């Protein structure tokens, strides 16, 4: 009887350890919805102006690469994704009402649409995002599929009035969470901040690490190109 009891205790201990290991090693993909209302400072300390920006950040804590839109995200890394226009290349965000101007490393064919990692370039070396906040969610397979569909469908989209950076990220959040936040004309990053505030949210200032590996998908060439 005592031996049976000991066996049962050992089996329960083994099972609890197995379940614990299984739980802690479960791959996790997280999406963050970011917005700030102004890029408060440039690298020289002057005010950047502008109306801010909204973007998403996808974190891959799994042990394998995953496809995020047209971008392959390696294991244990992250990518920022935003909607941009090339109308004011190399200047400050004050020259673009809804999406800060692009800091490009070289001339490219990019006109408008989705850029991967642009925020990690611009907001770590040129301007700051001191009032940034974000909400986050875990992506399952269904949510990942919906995200990828938006990224593909809106790859070359941008209109400062009807479909800008704030509209883009709000559409993504709505589709992944079955919410109905307004996505009409003149959507602004301040609207996104208000909606993000409805959730448990976090301070996003200094939450990005620098990279100059910025990419866009060129539909004419049919491939992902580095900016």
- Whether residue 175 contacts residue 195, with contact meaning beta carbons closer than 8 Å, is answered with no
Output the pLDDT for position 5.
Answer: 47
Spatial neighbors of 185 by CB under 8 A, at least 6 apart, are: 161, 162
Output the pLDDT for position 80.
Answer: 98
pTM above 0.85, yes or no: no
CA distances from residue 47 to 42, 43, 44, 129 in whole angstroms, order as listed:
6, 10, 9, 11
CA distances from residue 146 to 18, 49, 152, 171, 206 in whole angstroms, order as listed:
33, 34, 10, 11, 29
Output the pLDDT for position 107.
Answer: 45
Per run of 10 residues, the mean pLDDT along the chain (length 227 residues) is: 50 45 59 88 70 94 96 98 70 38 55 93 84 96 97 95 96 98 95 97 93 93 92
- Whether residue 48 contacts residue 94, with contact meaning beta carbons closer than 8 Å, is answered with yes
């Amino acid at each position: 009887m005592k031996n049976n009891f000991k066996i049962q205790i050992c089996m329960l201990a083994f099972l609890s350890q197995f379940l614990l290991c299984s739980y802690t090693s479960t791959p996790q993909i997280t999406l963050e919805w970011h917005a700030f209302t102004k890029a408060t400072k440039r690298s020289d300390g002057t005010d950047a102006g502008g109306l801010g920006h909204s973007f998403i950040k996808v974190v891959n804590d799994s042990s394998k690469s995953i496809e995020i839109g047209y971008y392959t995200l390696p294991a244990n890394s992250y990518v920022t994704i935003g909607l941009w226009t090339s109308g004011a290349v190399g200047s400050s965000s004050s020259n673009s009402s809804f999406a800060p101007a692009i800091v490009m490393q070289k001339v490219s064919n990019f006109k408008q649409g989705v850029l991967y990692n642009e925020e990690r370039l611009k907001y770590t070396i040129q301007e700051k995002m001191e009032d940034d906040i974000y909400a986050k969610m875990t992506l399952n397979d269904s949510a990942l599929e919906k995200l990828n569909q938006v990224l593909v469908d809106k790859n070359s989209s941008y209109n400062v009035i009807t479909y800008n950076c704030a509209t883009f990220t709000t559409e993504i959040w709505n589709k992944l969470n079955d919410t109905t936040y307004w996505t009409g004309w003149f959507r602004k990053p301040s609207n996104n901040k208000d909606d993000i505030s409805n959730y448990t949210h976090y301070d996003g200032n200094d939450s990005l690490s620098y990279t100059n590996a910025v990419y866009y998908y060129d539909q004419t060439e049919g491939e992902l190109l580095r900016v």
